Structure 1
């Protein structure tokens, strides 16, 4: 397995662990510089890994965009639709998406101090950038391989 991929996965788990409680308890729990540092490290390595044009990263970023938008939409309607049984059931599906895709990046919220729903929407833009860079990198890699053939 690629050493850079192992490093990326390790920083994902590191960012997840450090940002878990602040992401769940925001705005009641203060975030520190360590939360920001592990988030920035993970984001930096994720952006660096886009150069490889990895299909898994492309899929991960697509799910990141979709998940972030789902969290935003459900959280937006959560207060107005409270008590609706069907909506209550569908609202629970936002939590796994939030934990998987937003929690590792939540340290960056110290800069914005947004609600979790708006921060999720902001992170959908980040995942969109990762997707575009991955797709672009894959096309550039294919062009360079074709030119050497």
Structure 2
């Protein structure tokens, strides 16, 4: 079951990487939306089939939730952070978080067509709902 989720992650990441990096200048197709949907389905199937004490999945989902909030917050206050060197270094943390957690879901943005920081906040919602599903599975 882990391998299915991993394959869906790699597929969604690889198909959505270039559109996520070039947004809004890139054209997204139905394939991007399909791979993001497969990633979500793969994640939900993995949550349903996993053991109730899989802490790595919960850590991944919590990091996904936090990454969306961090990317949104950093981009929102980007104009303030650029004036200070220490804060400018902190802004570079958003790029790996964006790539790992937002890119696999970026095909959904073909329907929404919103900027990347708002979409990162939306992916936070997806990850927190998946996390709630893990706790609902336990009880």
TM interval, shorter chain, is over 0.9
After superposition, the C-alpha distances for 1:104-139 in whole angstroms (9 at most, x for unaligned) are: 110100111111100000010000001000111123
Classify the secondary structure of the residue corresponding to 1:38.
helix
C-alpha deviation, 1:81, in angstroms: 3.3
Q: Which whole-Å CA distance do the structure 2 matches of 1:87 and 1:36 have between them?
A: 35
C-alpha deviation, 1:85, in angstroms: 1.2
Match for 1:26 among 23, 26, 43? 23
| Structure 1: 4+ residue segments shifted above 6 A | none
- In structure 2, the gaps of 5 or more residues are none
Point out the structure with max Rg over C-alpha. Answer: 1
CA RMSD of aligned residues (A): 1.1
Q: Which whole-Å CA distance do the structure 2 matches of 1:96 and 1:81 have between them?
A: 18
Question: Structure 2 length normalisation: TM-score?
Answer: 0.93
Matches within 5 A, 1:118-137: 118-137=118-137
Alignment match, 1:71 = 71
- In structure 1, the gaps of 5 or more residues are 140-149
Alignment match, 2:7 = 10
Alignment match, 2:113 = 113
- Number of aligned residue pairs: 136
